[in-house]
Amino acid sequence: MFYKKSRAKVGGKYKWFPRACVNKHTVNTQDLGEAISRRCTVTPADVHAVIRSLPEVMSFFMENGNSVHLDGLGSFYYKLSCAGNGVDTPEEVSREQVKAVRVQFIPERRKKCGKYCRALGEGVELVKLGD
């Protein structure tokens, strides 16, 4: 993973921090399908079809109050973002308070060498990009 120097104002003063650099090419569903098919016996078209159906199936389960866990990746569930400062009584709670429904993702953790590591971040090596 590449990083570069980034300047931000903190407490009225500018400070320097490392910032992740993301490649301009976004890996799409077709790219994932081809890469996955090279690692197993499934065709790129089959992988693509499964990936394309995943959001609809996950949404169905999450709409019914379930979280969805994908082994080696993590868990997804719906979270409500509410407007205002809340209400005084339970009777006043209503759907009008909901500003947005968001998807929360929690990366899977594995115990390795006596400590927990996030599955997606495991083995990431930081490389400085330019000066």
Q: Is residue 38 part of a domain?
A: yes
Tell me which residue range forms the domain holding 78: 1-126
* 130 SS3 class: coil
Q: Is residue 103 part of a domain?
A: yes
Q: Is residue 66 part of a domain?
A: yes
Residues 54 and 70 sit within 8 Å (Cβ to Cβ)? no
Block residue for tokens 């169905």 = 60
Angle at CA 15, nearest 5°, toward 14 and 20?
125
Q: Is residue 131 part of a domain?
A: no
Block residue for tokens 């979270």 = 79
User: Where does the pLDDT of residue 22 fall: very low under 50, low under 70, confident under 90, or very high at 90 and above?
Assistant: confident
Element (H, E) at 110: strand 109-112
Q: Is residue 48 part of a domain?
A: yes
Q: Is residue 20 part of a domain?
A: yes
Is pLDDT above 70 for 121? no
Query: What pLDDT does 2 receive?
Result: 84
Is pLDDT above 90 for 77? yes
**Average model confidence (pLDDT) across the chain:** 89
Query: What pLDDT does 49 receive?
Result: 94
* 93 SS3 class: coil
Query: What pLDDT does 113 receive?
Result: 67
Which segment of 15-19, 65-69, 121-125 scores lowest on mean pLDDT?
A: 121-125
Q: Is residue 64 part of a domain?
A: yes
Is pLDDT above 70 for 119? no
How many structural domains compose the chain?
A: 1
CATH of residue 94: 4.10.520.10
Residues 53 and 46 sit within 8 Å (Cβ to Cβ)? no
User: Where does the pLDDT of residue 91 fall: very low under 50, low under 70, confident under 90, or very high at 90 and above?
Assistant: very high
d(CA 45, CA 52): 10
For residue 17, which amino acid is it?
F
